[in-house]
Each structure stands twice: as C-alpha cells, then as structure tokens.
Amino acid sequence: YPGSFGAPPPAQDPMWGYFTAIAGQDGEVDAEELQRCLTQSGFSGTYTPFSLETCRIMIAMLDRDMTGKMGFNEFKELFMALNGWKQNFMTYDQDRSGTVEPHEMQQAIGAMGYRVSPQALNAIVKRYSKGGRIFFDDYVACCVKLRALTDSFKRRDTVQQGSIMLQYDDFILCTMAI
Amino acid sequence: YPGSFGAPPPAQDPMWGYFTAIAGQDGEVDAEELQRCLTQSGFSGTYTPFSLETCRIMIAMLDRDMTGKMGFNEFKELFMALNGWKQNFMTYDQDRSGTVEPHEMQQAIGAMGYRVSPQALNAIVKRYSKGGRIFFDDYVACCVKLRALTDSFKRRDTVQQGSIMLQYDDFILCTMAI
Ligand SMILES: [Ca+2]
Ligand SMILES: [Ca+2]
Ligand SMILES: [Ca+2]
C-alpha cells in the first residue's frame, strides 16, 4: 500500500477494534482504561489484577510524548511485552501460588539480558517483595520499570560506554515519570 | 551524657516506646508495619490511608543500607518529613476535598526549593494525577520520590555542577529501589 511502509493500516489490524473500544472518545488509552481492559480481559488469570499504580508505570514506559496516554502502536507493544513477562513468571511459578522466590526473580532478570551487579539485583528484588516473595503484579511493575530505565539510559549512552552524563533536570525527568 | 553527642539516648526519647511497639521483634520497621502504624495513628486524617506502595517508597527514601526496613532515626526523620508535606498539602487543599490541582502541585514543588523545568514539572504532575487532580497519597509518594532522587543526585554531584557521570549499574541501583 502506498504510504503504509509495510505495516497494514490500523483499520485492518485485528486489534484495532479492540483498541478503539478501550480508548474511547480521545482515541488514547490512559491508566484507568488500561486497568479496566486488563481486568476485564482476564489477562492476569488466577493472579491478582494489576493495580492502578502498575498500570501507570506501564503507560509511562511507552509514553515518549508524556501525555499519560497510549496510542495504538504503544498499546500493541505493551501487550507483547506483557505476554512475555507473564510466560516468564509462570515458568518460575510452577506451583501456581501466584508468587515467585527472590532467587527466581534474580534469575529471571539475568535471563532477560540485564547486566546488573548482585548488589543492585538484591536491592531490586527486596523492593518488589512482599513477605519475602514476589507477586505477579509487582513482578511486572519491576520488569516495566527496569526496561523503561534501561531504555532511557541507552538513548543517552549514544557511544555505548556504559556511563552517561546527566543533568539534574534530565535525571528527574527520566526517573520521576516512571 | 558521655557518648551521646548531644542527642538523648533512645530510651529517653518519647517516640522510642512507640517505635519499638511498631518495629516488633526485629527492631526495625518494614513497609507493612509502617502502613499499619500510619493507618492506626490516623495520620491521614480524613484523607485516604497510604497505600503499601507509597509506604515502600517512604522506606526506600531513607533506607541507605537497603535492608527494606527503617531504624529509629530514619523513623523520626520520616515523621518530620511527612508532617511537613501534610501541612503543605492542607494549605493548598482549602476546601478539604482531599485533592489539589495540578498547578497547585507545581507551585508546591517549586516552593520546596526544587529547580525543575516546566517540562519536568508537567511530566511529574501528570504522573501523579488521577482524573486531573492529585490525591494526598500520590502527593506524598511524589514528594518522597523527588526528595530521594534529588538526594541521590546530590550525593554524586560532589562539585555541585548540576550534572553527574552515571554508570548503568549505579543508575539502576539509585532509581529502581524508589
Ligand atoms: Ca481514553
Ligand atoms: Ca510459586
Ligand atoms: Ca519489623
């Protein structure tokens, strides 16, 4: 199709109708709409539904223009990522208790390709634990945050040196919204 | 008193008994204990009690040794900060609706002495809004995060230049835990 650059126009995408129904009048999905959609679609299965806080983090991850809302492409991108994390979580949660162990989460983060020190891994896992275990909602919130922060870092680390120069305002901008 | 450096020993501090009752066996306060204590003490008044998520952020702000728990001095420091933010919030929430307006929150952040760009201010306020307004719980979560991130930045900006060099691992460590 001319002008489509290989991607089908939204109207032909099977998810387009679903998206527009959720997005409503403004044509974009905010945190409350996302929470409703994830709850009603039964995405979490037997796991506790996502908190509004986690949904806000999900949107912040993809929300480059900082409107607090997601367009169609971000919406699809989010669902792909969520499916991956859910698969991953279920691999570790073999007894379907709804939680994984700290060492399993550390393994999972490593398996996703993040190179973080044992100290950072430890701090992360502690932050997202409740009573020494990690619930699905917190697991996803952690994955979202880690991905968003790593993306922010990489965008600034143009020469791929593993370290960046950050101004205070930029630091606040890329960390406070997540 | 010898060895006291001017501060009364904990046993003579009026808050010590309160702290030990909340801390329990391990002598430190974790997020769940903090939430229970803030709810039972009626700290939020007519406002919605703090979510567990906000309590975790509060502990992360002060938790330099990353144990996920607070000792006595941190506990007192937190209460001082909380009182300040509550006063501040109530000044803006004159009709006691439990929420403040985005522009009021922007003003409040400026009044606390943070020097952030209009773009960052905007992103922050959007992130902590629900339906275009900011609730007390989210207001406090935002203040805690902003303070913790600013402290982290300042500790690394030893020459006070307003910009720092950050390694990936350090970046993750100082942002993921909050
Ligand atoms: Ca919408
Ligand atoms: Ca399990
Ligand atoms: Ca305790």
**What's the pLDDT tens digit per position in A132-158?**
899 999 999 999 999 999 999 999 999
A-B contacts (CB, under 8 Å): 128
pLDDT band at A78 (very low <50, low <70, confident <90, very high): very high
- Cβ–Cβ gap A167/B171 under 8 Å: no
Q: How far is B156 from chain A (nearest CA, A)?
A: 11
What is the pLDDT at residue B64? Answer: 74
Q: Which residue has the tokens 């009048």?
A: A25
Residue of A nearest to B119 (CA): A173
Question: Exposure string (b/e) for B102-132, b if CB count within 10 Å is 16 or more?
Answer: bebbbebbeeeebebeeebbbbbbbbbbeee
Within its chain, how far is the Cα of B56 from the centroid? 10
Q: Average per-residue pLDDT in chain A?
A: 89
Ligand nearest to the CA of B59: 3
- Cβ–Cβ gap B67/A175 under 8 Å: no
**What's the pLDDT tens digit per position in B166-177?**
999 999 998 998
Task: Say which residues have a Cβ less than 8 Å from residue B37's Cβ, sequence separation at least 6.
Answer: B22, B29
Task: Say which residues have a Cβ less than 8 Å from residue B120's Cβ, sequence separation at least 6.
Answer: A169, A172, A173, A176
Question: With pLDDT > 70 as the criterion, what percentage of chain B qualifies?
Answer: 94
Q: Which of A116, A124, A177 sits opposite B124 (nearest CB)?
A: A177
Ligand nearest to the CA of B22: 3
Per-residue DSSP letter, A33: H
Q: Which of A53, A150, A175 sits opposite B149 (nearest CB)?
A: A175
What is the ipTM, given to two decimal places? Answer: 0.86
**Neighbouring-strand partners of residue A70:** A29
Q: How far is B113 from chain A (nearest CA, A)?
A: 13
Cβ distance A34 to A55 under 8 Å? yes
State the best of A66, A156, A158, A172 to mutate against chain B, taking most chain B CBs within 10 Å: A172
The Å distance, Cα B29 to ligand 3 centre, comes to: 4
